[in-house]
Amino acid sequence: MLLEWNNDLTTQRDENGRTPLHFAAALVRQSKRGSICWQVLEANPAALYQSDNDGLFPIHVAASVGERGTITMFLNKSPSSAGLHDTKGRTFLHVAAEKKKVGIVSYGCRNQSLSWILNMQDNDGNTALHLAIQAGSLLMFCALVGNRQIHLNLTNKKGQTPLDISRCEIPPGLFDDKNSETKIHFALKVANARSGACGCDNFEEPYSHRLKHNAREESEKARESTQTLCIGVVLIATVTFGAIFALPGGYRADEHTDGGTPTLAGRYSFDAFIIASTFAFMFSSVATLSLMYSGYSILNPQSRRIYLVVALYFGSTSVTCFTAAFALGMYMVLAPIAYKTAIAICVTSPLVVLCNKLEFWLKWSLLARPLCTRIGIIRTLVIVAQRILFNLFMEFWPFIFIFVWAAYTRNQL
């Protein structure tokens, strides 16, 4: 009604230079016909090309709030608005990458009509790929690298290519190798991305400076990790220690020939249960000792990191053994009276171990498509299969050893 009364209202600006279309673009779900944003745009299409005092156009505002529908409406009205730059030289795709708006970046990569802006550089020479890597977003990275029109070796004004930035984004000191930053760096190397003319040496000094600067932070990180992990591994050690002396099925009566021995002794599942429980106790004990040493302030940081890594691995392995012991214990008790239930428990129990690596599976599934685009399906399958099989072996080798050793000892009787 206001627009019918005075259409010139759409050209008015506030003290920051924003037009009504700037504010309408920031509204959620305003891309449908008849919406506020649609009405303002129809009343004054030229407002698409009016920037505020910061050089932001309405399409930049829509990108910053992740409104894909609004951007689509703007582009349908005026396709050339996709190439609008703010005072920093950024297109709406740059803004979306900085704000971690995955939906907008994915939309830009899928839309063939936007291919001409994919490799545009801002005033610092950064493309959307540079900014996505700086943001540490694996989803945005996969969307961009999955488009073959994206150049992987463009340098910014610092001489950095996406590979250089990905290397600098890997956190110094303690970090989980499942971090998105490490996956991004690996994917770029596999895709044959190159370093810039400055070379890697120029990045050693700031990286080393970060490592020294964060020494206290790393020490605090190790201490907090030790406290958290210690609860879990001590709990596993306590439970498995008790399980060894409170065996499923109990013990034979004293008047029996083999009085005091386990009732279920001699069964294959019993032997496997004993081995699994022993391993769970041993590995959790090693993890506990390693955590103790990792918390000693008198040790140098490198030694403390090594002990923490050892604790993480053996703590994770103790969970695998504990899972096997639980499944075997339930099988021994339930198999004679509820065989199907016992089998169901044995089949579903390993899911605990798989869930422990859920992030690993998800990130590799995301990387598979862009890698296929860059290096082909055969090479991608080989790389992904190698890492998945290695990861499965590192997680499930206790299962293999437990059941093979139980079978071996029975054959020796």
Total-model pTM: 0.82
The residue written with tokens 């499942």 in the block is 178
Contact 219, 301 (CB under 8 A): yes
Return d(Cα 348, Cα 339) in angstroms, integer: 14
Cα 62 from Cα 223, distance rounded (Å): 43
Identify whether the C-beta of residue 385 lies closer than 8 Å to the C-beta of residue 368: no
**Is 385 found in the same domain as 239?**
yes
From the number of C-beta atoms within 10 Å of its C-beta (0-12, 13-18, 19+), residue 88 rates as middle
Burial class (CB in 10 A: 0-12, 13-18, 19+), 413: exposed
Q: What is the domain range of residue 27?
A: 1-84
Candidates 288, 325, 328, 327; CA nearest to 308 is: 288
Q: Which residues contact 135 (CB under 8 A, 6 or more apart)?
A: 97, 98, 100
Query: What total number of domains does the chain contain?
Result: 3
Instruction: Tell me the pLDDT of the chain (413 aa) as tens digits.
Output: 444 444 455 566 777 888 888 888 888 776 665 577 777 888 788 889 999 988 999 999 999 999 999 999 999 999 999 999 999 999 999 999 999 999 999 999 999 999 999 999 999 999 999 999 999 999 999 999 999 999 999 999 999 999 999 998 887 766 666 788 999 999 999 999 998 766 455 555 555 545 554 556 666 666 666 767 777 788 888 887 777 777 766 656 556 565 556 666 778 888 898 899 899 999 999 998 888 887 777 777 778 788 888 888 998 899 999 999 999 988 888 888 888 999 999 999 988 888 878 888 889 999 999 999 999 999 999 999 999 899 889 889 999 999 998 888 776 54
Q: Where is the domain boundary, 190, 213, 236? A: 213
Is 3 in the same domain as 123?
Answer: no
CA distance 279 to 400: 13
Q: Do 274 and 191 fall within a single domain?
A: no
Element at 187 (helix H, strand E) = helix 180-190
Residue 95 belongs to some domain of the structure: no
Same structural domain for residues 304 and 406? yes
Domain assignment of residue 90, yes or no: no
CA–chain centroid gap for 376, Å, is 23
Classify residue 152 by its DSSP letter: S
Query: Do both 65 and 137 map to the same domain?
Result: no
Q: How far apart are CA 217 and CA 245, in angstroms?
A: 43
Residue finishing a domain among 213, 240, 256: 213
Residue at 173 is within a domain: yes
The β-bridge partners of 262 are 251
Question: In terms of domains, do 176 and 259 share one?
Answer: no
**Residue ending a domain, choose from 62, 84, 106:** 84
> Tell me, what CATH number does 203's domain have?
1.25.40.20
21 found inside a domain: yes
The answer to whether 140 touches 102, Cβ cutoff 8 Å, is yes
